[in-house]
Amino acid sequence: MPSFSRPDWSGRFNRLERACADLPVDALVCSSPVSIRYLSGFAGSAGLLVLVPNRPPILLVDGRYAASVADDIAADRIAPVTIELVERRYEGGLATLLDRLHLTTVGFEAAHVTVAALEAWKKVTPATQWRATEQLVERLRIIKDDAEQQILRRAGRLLAGVARALPELVSTGLTERGIASAIDDAIERAGFSAPAFTTIVASGPHSAHPHARPTDRELRAGDLVVLDFGGVLDGYCVDLTRMAVVGQPTADAFALYAAVRDAHRAAVDTVRPGIPASAIDAAARDVLTSRGFGDAFVHATGHGLGLEVHEDPRIGRADGGDSERIERGMVFTIEPGAYVSQRGGVRLEDDVLVTTDGCEVLTDAPRDLLVV
Amino acid sequence: MPSFSRPDWSGRFNRLERACADLPVDALVCSSPVSIRYLSGFAGSAGLLVLVPNRPPILLVDGRYAASVADDIAADRIAPVTIELVERRYEGGLATLLDRLHLTTVGFEAAHVTVAALEAWKKVTPATQWRATEQLVERLRIIKDDAEQQILRRAGRLLAGVARALPELVSTGLTERGIASAIDDAIERAGFSAPAFTTIVASGPHSAHPHARPTDRELRAGDLVVLDFGGVLDGYCVDLTRMAVVGQPTADAFALYAAVRDAHRAAVDTVRPGIPASAIDAAARDVLTSRGFGDAFVHATGHGLGLEVHEDPRIGRADGGDSERIERGMVFTIEPGAYVSQRGGVRLEDDVLVTTDGCEVLTDAPRDLLVV
């Protein structure tokens, strides 16, 4: 077993400090729980992380968390932050801190702070100039560092193990909900702390809905069945989709499956540093279009994975503007699909880590149409 | 079995329309997934609901949801909304709609719309006057209507059933994580669609952390064990905490338990319409203070339950301002606790529905200290 490396907290903090250097701010207040977790390891549901150059990050928490945060720092489970206890309301604690440290120009995460929250902060910090920032922490998170790659590799292997067990979990006589429950149990047994999202088991006509939720529908002969599930390991999400069919597939169903399988392969084969994300999407979309399923592919080819199950980069059409450039260390899904109303849908999904000259498939498990 | 009533969509919509009548707005854009679900039944992860007086609500969704929304409307599973398909970006679809319907003064949910999102909306709607609104839908949600009370009653009974099974799920030789997993399985078997939050099993010193997460720690003699778990049924959350002890409790541990038990009872006995929420908190806090645990009660006595596991009303100290007045039809937790660093903590939690002259405990199951 390799030993797992401790997150490089100071590396993350230094990169953020460099990203902030061009901004005219004395400090950055992170309020997004994901940003806070990425920068400090603190994973509570409330808290503010205040970053001031040349100081340890300051974590504002309320009484519910104070004891556990101190324990976590002592045990080296989270970054060595300075704890600032909030007595009542977070905005009050924040105002006191900014005042004490003479911080007057302060950045905030505009994509996370609501209009109402900013108003509340402004009310108690009349001397503060608040500056909207965007994508500062998200831009760091898009490239996974060594500790993150280790976790995601391990998570991918565990999820592939669950995929390999699908023949034992999916059978006729079961409902979508029953199969989803069996998959969730397998995810937990594999060592994940939780499913990464509500497991999708979508059979027959339901498979034509990309975001279907499991129902009490029993599998029936001829059904295509979308099995889309994921797990959270040490806070990081992985995500995988495989397909089953009840009995031998019709020629139409198999053609749909084969088109998606080939689109998936074409997209994976395209991944390498330096190309725009849209080139990966185009590789999948071209295959589906050539088989007559271009309009049936109603979503993007993939999305980033990390502390969130949907994060940057978006692997989709260029959409008018520039498409993200693929870089080494990115981790994202490749999940083309094709959905034909009333008849059924197919999706195949894996997670890839971009390497120097291509990608590593983190969730390597058979992609065959599983006949049940 | 009673038959379950369909949500009164038009009632909810009409109450919202009345709440908006005083505002100078032509329309209200709901972007909070919870508001959208409450008003329409739509439970997707993306979408905007636009409410215009004397029109059916308009649901903007993207291609991933269009087919399932149409099915859900046809099957009467969601409100009869008008579907507006968004081609690319939601702000673009929103701009097109506002322009087509000549809506110029438009309310938005300030507690949900981020500073960045509002900027993006403003950019594509230069002629629109955007007005911040707060708590419009939340104020409606605070009083549960008949359909919601039915679901919450049923959910409370199911969760009480899980609590009654705790003697079979908790035993020495198990880890916190193993017990949490057994509880999660019981929650699923009971018929819930998911746990309402990450189940807390906090033993020994961990029990002193109100928000502890399960670890691989095995139960040890003398441990107090906090068991805090919940379930989601038809979108609605219920939440319950019971206590176990490994072997016979010490006198100190029992005194801590008994203080919390009595605080819990005092708070439940206080609930009735017309009083301020802070009176319920004070009832619990007074008991704990009189036993010497006033400072050990580091959180509020309770929180509302509904589509969110934490929603209004907050059952806490008056906190300077006015405290929420308790009304018939509110549903909230009563969960006093006391936490002594290193030694351990105790919490007991039930969910109550406010009736005409008191409350109905929805999660009625024994509150005894379970000796394992």
Instruction: Answer yes or no: is pLDDT of B1 > 50.
Output: no
For chain A, what is the mean pLDDT? 94
**B window 235-294, beta carbon within 8 A of A:** none
State whether residue A131 sits within 8 Å of chain B by CB: no
Instruction: Answer yes or no: is pLDDT of A2 > 50.
Output: no
Instruction: Answer yes or no: is pLDDT of A45 > 90.
Output: no
Q: Residue B372's pLDDT band (boundaries 50, 70, 90)?
A: very high
Residue of B nearest to A188 (CA): B181
DSSP lists the bridge partners of residue B239 as B230
DSSP of A270-302: H--TTSBHHHHHHHHHHHHHHTT-GGG--S-SE
R_g of chain A computed on alpha carbons:
23
Q: Which residue of A114, A177, A239 is the best one to mutate when testing the B interface, meaning the one whose CB has the most B CBs within 10 A?
A: A114
- For residue A21, the model assigns a pLDDT of 84
Pairing of strands A129-133, B200-203: unpaired
Region A198-209: mean pLDDT is 95
ipTM reported for the complex, 2 dp: 0.80
Residues on chain B touching A298 (C-beta within 8 angstroms): 63-64
Which of A185, A208, A211 is facing B65, going by the closest CB pair? A211
B37-48: pLDDT as tens digits: 999 999 988 899
Q: Which tokens in the block code for residue A306? A: 């990390």
Q: Which DSSP symbol is given to A187? A: H
Residues on chain A touching B119 (C-beta within 8 angstroms): 110, 132
Residue of B nearest to A197 (CA): B194
B209–A67 CB contact, under 8 Å: yes
A188, B184 contact by CB (below 8 A): yes
B319-357: pLDDT as tens digits: 766 789 999 999 999 999 999 988 899 999 999 999 999
Residues on chain B touching A188 (C-beta within 8 angstroms): 181, 184
For chain B, what is the mean pLDDT? 94
Which of B88 and B221 is assigned the larger pLDDT? B221
To the nearest whole angstrom, how far is the Cα of B69 from the nearest Cα of chain A? 10
To the nearest whole angstrom, how far is the Cα of A357 from the nearest Cα of chain B? 32
- For residue A20, the model assigns a pLDDT of 87
Residues on chain A touching B188 (C-beta within 8 angstroms): 181, 184
A226-278: pLDDT as tens digits: 999 999 999 999 999 999 999 999 999 999 999 999 999 999 999 999 999 99
A284-312: pLDDT as tens digits: 999 999 999 999 999 999 999 999 999 99
B68-82: pLDDT as tens digits: 899 899 999 999 999
Count of A-B CB contacts under 8 Å: 86
B144-172: pLDDT as tens digits: 999 999 999 999 999 999 999 999 999 99
- For residue B44, the model assigns a pLDDT of 87
Residues on chain B touching A339 (C-beta within 8 angstroms): 67
Identify the weakest region by mean pLDDT among A98-102, A266-270, A321-325, B111-115.
A321-325
Query: What are the b/e assignments for A25-56, b being 16+ CB within 10 Å?
Result: bbbbbbbbbbbbbbbbbbbbeebbbbbbeeee
A211–B110 CB contact, under 8 Å: no
Q: Residue A358's pLDDT band (boundaries 50, 70, 90)?
A: very high
To the nearest whole angstrom, how far is the Cα of A356 from the nearest Cα of chain B? 32
Instruction: Answer yes or no: is pLDDT of B3 > 60.
Output: no
Q: Which of B349, B354, B360, B367 is nearest to B229 (CA)?
A: B349
Residue of A nearest to B300 (CA): A64
